[in-house]
Chain A
């Protein structure tokens, strides 16, 4: 049953993609049909995942082609199903959202091509998380990369987008190459020829330590590039903003999560058992990415770049949980390992939901104002009365404010970090607690970053004409985002329900079912969540909050029944209020630039033009920049080195065909010698 639904879903995506191309003349129709197909297809795959997760079943799909070298095997186990659920839920919403958003491009660009790529992109992610064969995996992984590359450069006349796409494709391919090497090293120890993941699952105990470590690092870098971990993040804050918003929504929401999927497959299945220090490495990488990601997001003015950096931060948090889970597992503390895994997977789906919501709303803002610069916005809450609350929900979720979903996963992250005290090694304990400190600092900075994002762009008065004439976006765009906002609230108020789902994944990966020890009923007859330390019932807190609000309001009304409000302009020391007096995003984060000056190395330049020298200022220009230290000290030297090397080997390319024939001849001889041995 489930497998049929899955195949139908894949076929629908493919049909949607092809139909989009068929409409030569009616691009609008082609795009629309492809998106409708995508939406329907994702419904099918959601159903698949729900069916599979409800009973924790595993389904195999084997397509045997005649004399095929590659065995097209797919596996839908609970891990895959969980990722399918996350991917297709976001795909569904994104497809509906795109129906509205792509109106931006109609009659300007080839939207049927967009529809084609979009469907391929969505289906490639589904295939990545289900592939059960290394070769198939590499093919679909590559498909995902290339399709997303084309989507990134969809607005290709902008040189910045081309550069972003270029960097993305290069980095992604370095990642793929490393993964391929990892697969080959493992393949050498498998002993069979079909590259099946099932064989790889048995290889962990057999491989020599050295090779395992090599594979470990290859996988960190290979998937780490996709996950955007520091310092391999370079492409992410460039590519995500460059892509059309409906694409960046999916890229940030779920595509980068396929890297997490890779981590889980490799470290919990293929390479297991792992030594504790692997987990520590992952933990440290996660913590670094989380902190640096948010620090860069904080000073960002472009709303989409800001969200992209914040994706790095959130992926960092998930990676922290994966690392913790690995450490616990290697010390055989399986229940705690499962707790950390719940934290990670919970946060994964939370991030998928609220990041898509935020990107969607940023897209709405772009649709209405044609600008992505926060400093040019303002006052949108009165002009976009539906988008504003939706964005607020996303902002509150991502800042882990109760009662929304981000809080629950943050709570789990803290609980699993706290349980680090059960580890035998003092060093690792201390590292966990330092990571706890980093997570705490990150959490506080996230709140600042998103107060800024919401406050500056939606509140007060519009700063430019763009913002002044903004109008609410088409219905599909906010309805689809409304779905996500509802999900945010639901997953925040009823965490036990989500945990049941995560539990199947844990039972499959770690072989332990801890949810029954984690949940119980409170006296509102709803499940509450508890750990060794404590318990949490966000919904009860919410209910009591509402009760207290009612009491407060009632009491105040009793004190003064005819309470009235008078509206008057803001007091600005005698001037009439104007947008220039408002705080900007730059000003808002100015204290942070000073506090973290070591990281940002801010460069400011103030120049004044005088009418009468030194007395009457005509105009002041202020330029403030954050130096990109990773580009400067890491990527700069590396790319310079590569360029130098390529310059040096240029003399090999003489252009003369005789010399080339000689090369071929020499290669042949060397090969014969090797084979002869």
Chain B
């Protein structure tokens, strides 16, 4: 019974609590690599605290959809963070769903965000929303298929089972199809999380913005929730990547020592991938909007190849 309570709380603390840190970490490292001092690694927390204490200005044109969106987005990512294995192979809401539910919960969050971007009647919002839908409709199939390649290898679409299988049978990870799936998922995560070269998270310039364009009209608590949700999304995606492809060290029960080791390794792994994101952002310029489908198309093809090679190898 205690496990039913401890585990969800633990997962929520990790995902909700540490997600701004990941963002701060990425910003800091990036600044250092660009020979800037950069803001403190805790800056995202300061921002959130500040925003949460403020009132909000809401557009007259907008409707209840606009006001509901931050909650819907935030809560749908919260649910996902309870379906994803984080520190332990055991997952609190294991019975509620699988990777398909996760993908469609992301879709729920995105759906409302795009609606709210149209709701304010500003051209920037619509532009962001339209582009977000374009990027995501290319990214989502690649994501589904690369996760399916993993699911077929592990004979389950349930993330907890997948992690468990791959943990106990690590030789499967050397399967060429999983390497392809890994590559595809990597590209998709960059696109879904709105990082360079797909989207530029640092700017509100109309030429480059996608995700930020949709957040333009939010303020106060609403902006805090939306920002927090987007950093949680990044961490959840990285967690999925880490726990599928590098599951070593994840606890297989709820023993305290196991969880500590798992947490330490989790921090290292997430830190590593955050660093990879920094390197990618440093090395590429943002792609032109209509080049993005090529990139995501490549991910899509990679993920199809992942499954085909799985069938052929079998």
Footprint of B on A, CB under 8 Å?
A: 379, 381-382, 388, 392, 396, 399-402, 407, 410-411, 414-415, 418, 421, 426, 429-430, 433-434, 436-437, 440-441, 443-445, 447-448, 451, 454-456, 459-461, 522-523, 528, 532-538, 540-541, 544-545, 548-549, 552-553, 556, 559-560, 563-572, 577, 579, 581-583, 587-592, 594-595
Contacts and interface: CB of A to CB of B under 8 A. Distances in A.
A549 B75 contact: yes
Interface stretch (B28-36, B233-241, B256-264, B305-313): B305-313
Contact of A583 (B71, B98, B125, B137): B125
A550 B158 CA distance: 27
B199 interface: no
Interface residues of B, number: 81
B308 A566 contact: no
Given A569-B60, A570-B121, A583-B118, A533 B98 contact: yes
A440 B158 CA distance: 18
B300 A437 contact: yes
A563 B93 contact: no
A426 B157 contact: no
Contact of A534 (B63, B64, B156): B156
Contacts of A589: 130
A582 B304 contact: no
Contacts of B63: 381-382, 388, 459
A27 B217 CA distance: 52
Given A433-B308, A541-B79, A595 B71 contact: no
A595 B294 CA distance: 9
A103 to B, nearest CB: 27
Contacts of A587: 126, 130
A324 to B, nearest CB: 15
A536 B268 CA distance: 32
B79 A544 contact: yes
Contacts of A460: 61-62, 118-121
B282 interface: no
B161 interface: yes
16 contacts: A437-B145, A437-B300, A444-B140, A451-B133, A455-B114, A534-B157, A538-B101, A549-B71, A563-B55, A563-B221, A564-B56, A566-B57, A567-B57, A570-B60, A588-B130, A590-B130
Contact of B104 (A407, A436, A571, A582): A407
B65 A381 contact: yes
A381 B119 CA distance: 10
Interface stretch (B37-45, B147-155, B245-253, B270-278): B147-155
Contact of A567 (B60, B107, B108, B300): B60
Nearest to A520: B95
Given A430-B308, A563-B55, A581-B121, A537 B293 contact: no
A566 to B, nearest CB: 5
Contacts of A392: 65
A524 to B, nearest CB: 9
Interface string B110-123: 11001100111111
Interface string B46-65: 00000011111111111111
A402 B122 contact: no
B141 interface: yes
B123 A583 contact: yes
A174 to B, nearest CB: 35
A355 to B, nearest CB: 18
Contacts of B64: 381
A592 B129 CA distance: 13
Contact of B141 (A440, A565, A569): A440
Contact of A400 (B65, B104, B148, B225): B104
B137 A444 contact: yes
- Most B CB within 10 A of own CB, among A396, A399, A415, A545: A545
B82 interface: yes
B74 interface: yes
Given A560-B221, A572-B122, A565 B311 contact: no
B137 A577 contact: no
Given A460-B62, A533-B157, A567-B60, 17 more contacts: A382-B63, A396-B108, A401-B111, A407-B101, A410-B104, A436-B148, A448-B133, A536-B101, A538-B101, A570-B59, A570-B60, A572-B123, A577-B61, A588-B118, A589-B130, A595-B134, A595-B290
A28 B214 CA distance: 49
- Most A CB within 10 A of own CB, among B67, B133, B136, B148: B133
B104 A566 contact: no
> 5 closest A-B pairs (Cβ-Cβ)?
A583-B126, A444-B137, A460-B121, A440-B141, A455-B118
B23 interface: no
A630 B2 CA distance: 62
Contacts of A569: 59-61
A567 B59 contact: yes
